[in-house]
């Protein structure tokens, strides 16, 4: 994922939102028209064990054709074009996890994007 991602931490069992600005292989921003499919797999960072997925995401509700600055985006003034709402049932393991997104573009090319995330214990 290019530049910035929001959503670095959450509470175990609670949902989380990942926001990012994503560029394609040619460095243009991804759009709904240029994105054929998206999947997310969640790994435990310490040993790469699969915790969840791969889970298919709906392109129309994950990718935005224009950069957005709502939903708590505070990384910069440019905004995000990718939003993934992760259910709490996928975030039950406390510790560092890695979210890996696989995007297939309209040319048939697959790009992998990695975001580290921390799931904290309920206090």
Backbone CA torsion sign across 60, 36, 63, 50: positive
pLDDT at 112: 93
For residue 40, the number of C-alpha atoms closer than 13 Å in the C-beta half-sphere is 22
Domain count, the chain: 1
CATH of the domain at 85: 2.60.40.1930
- Global model pTM greater than 0.85: yes
Q: For residue range 66-119, what is the model confidence (pLDDT) as tens digits?
A: 999 987 788 889 999 999 999 999 999 999 999 999 999 999 999 999 999 999
Quote the tokens at residue 76: 């910069």
- Residue 4 reports pLDDT greater than 80: no
The reported pLDDT for the residue numbered 3 is: 47
CA 53 from chain center: how many Å? 13
- Structural domain of residue 106, as residue ranges? 2-120
Task: Tell me the per-residue pLDDT of 11-34, one tens digit each, with 9 for 90 and over.
Answer: 898 889 999 999 988 889 999 999
Place of tokens 């797999």: 41
H/E stretch holding 61 reads helix 59-62
């Amino acid at each position: 994922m290019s530049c910035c991602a929001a959503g670095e931490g959450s509470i175990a069992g609670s949902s989380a939102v990942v926001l990012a600005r994503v560029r394609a292989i040619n460095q243009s921003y991804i759009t709904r028209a240029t994105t054929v499919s998206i999947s997310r797999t969640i790994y435990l960072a310490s040993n790469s064990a699969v915790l969840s997925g791969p889970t298919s995401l709906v392109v129309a509700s994950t990718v935005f054709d224009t950069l957005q600055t709502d939903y708590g985006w505070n990384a910069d003034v440019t905004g995000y074009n990718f939003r993934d709402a992760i259910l709490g049932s996928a975030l039950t393991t406390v510790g560092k996890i890695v979210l890996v997104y696989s995007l297939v573009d309209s040319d048939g090319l697959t790009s992998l994007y990695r975001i580290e995330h921390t799931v904290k214990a309920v206090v």
